[in-house]
Structures are given as structure tokens and as C-alpha cells.
Amino acid sequence: MKIAFLFYEGMTALDAVGPHEILCRIPGAEVYRVARKAGAIQTDSGLVLTADLSIEEVPEVDILLVPGAGNAATLRQYPEVLEWIRKIHEKTKWTTSVCTGSLILGAAGVLAGVKATTHWATFDRLKDWKATPVKERVVEDGKLITAAGVSAGIDMALVLAAKVEGKLFAQAIQLAIEYDPAPPFDVGSPEKANPMVRAALLSRMSARFERI
């Protein structure tokens, strides 16, 4: 099972690292950390990750995972990466994204007519790519699996692990990483959040979003 994580400058680390912790444990998994060019990748939190391979070195995989970024990047400044996603998607068993990574899939042209989700602050932007927005933590449509904001990538990876290796395996992984969320505040969705907090956060985030 060949699994590729697309890395790029400014990406959100947890979007990739969370699912990586789960998917790398699938028996027989060959995990590739791929970028436009191999080397160090600066994430939006300052954490530096390493891409072992360039996109030219990875022509085909079974699973593709595209993380999001704090600036809701679509990577349109790198058409060669979008073209790579399109070609990889043709032969994947599953093409997946976390958070605003779905906007990258949209820019690559693989979301048209597909149900998908993304971070709540960019939810309506899915329509720009002719996708059908669905307000769920993990959304499946054929071989496309998209996750909502950041932490939802862990949920998505567990769903995917169950598809690949069975529910008992996925349950064992969930127990092994002690994924049993009990957040100190029940404000993890815009519907639950304090309206003042939500408005202030959306204002700050929107200032960083590129326009379609």
C-alpha cells in the first residue's frame, strides 16, 4: 500500500502529522513524503518537516493525502503540483484531504460534482470548485474522502484505516494513540462557539485567505 503525503510551504503540520501517525501503521504501508522539490518544508507554525521525494519521483500511489494551510492555499502558483495531483488521482484507491486541503483538490479539478468538506471558515469556497459542501467531520464520495478542520484529519485517517485493514485494526490504532477527545471547552465548531470569538477569528483568518 503506497501512501503519499503532499508537503508544501506554509502547510499546517497537524493536517499531515495526525493522519501520518495512523496510516503509517497499516501493515505493508510504504509512506512517501512528497513535495515539489525534496527537502525541508516550513509549516505555518514554524515546525520544519522533510519531504523525502519530489513529485517527479512519485508517479503513482494507492492513497494520496493533501493537507491544508492557514492561508487556505490552493497551490495555483505551482501548476505542476496541481497537474501531479490530477494524474495521481486517476490511479489512486483513495484521494484524501484535511482542512483546506480540499481547496487544493478543487484547484486540481478533482472535486467537480463531488460531496466534500473543509475548514468551517472556507466552507462556502467549495462551491467555487463545483463541489457540494457537506457539513460533516468526514465526507466520503466514491474514492474521495475529505476531512473538516485540522483535528478532523485524525478521524478521517481512522475511517480510511478501517477501509484498508478492517474496523478492528482501526479500533486498535485508536486505542493505541489514546484518541478519546475530551476538550476543556465545548467550542470546537462554529455553531458552539461564542459569537464574539467566532467573528474575531473569522476576521483574522479571512484576511489571509486568497481569493478565487
Residue 16 DSSP symbol: H
User: What cell numbers appear for 163 in the block?
Assistant: 477501509
d(CA 56, CA 59): 7
Candidates 4, 99, 103, 145; catalytic one = 99
Q: Residue 42's beta-bridge partner residues?
A: 48
Residue 193 DSSP symbol: S
Neighbour tally for 199: CB within 10 Å: 12
- Give Cα 164 to chain centroid, integer Å: 18
Active-site residue, 24 included: no
10 Å CB burial of residue 50 (0-12, 13-18, 19+) is exposed
Asked whether the beta carbons of 102 and 118 are under 8 A apart, the reply is yes
d(CA 112, CA 107): 10
The catalytic residue positions are: 99
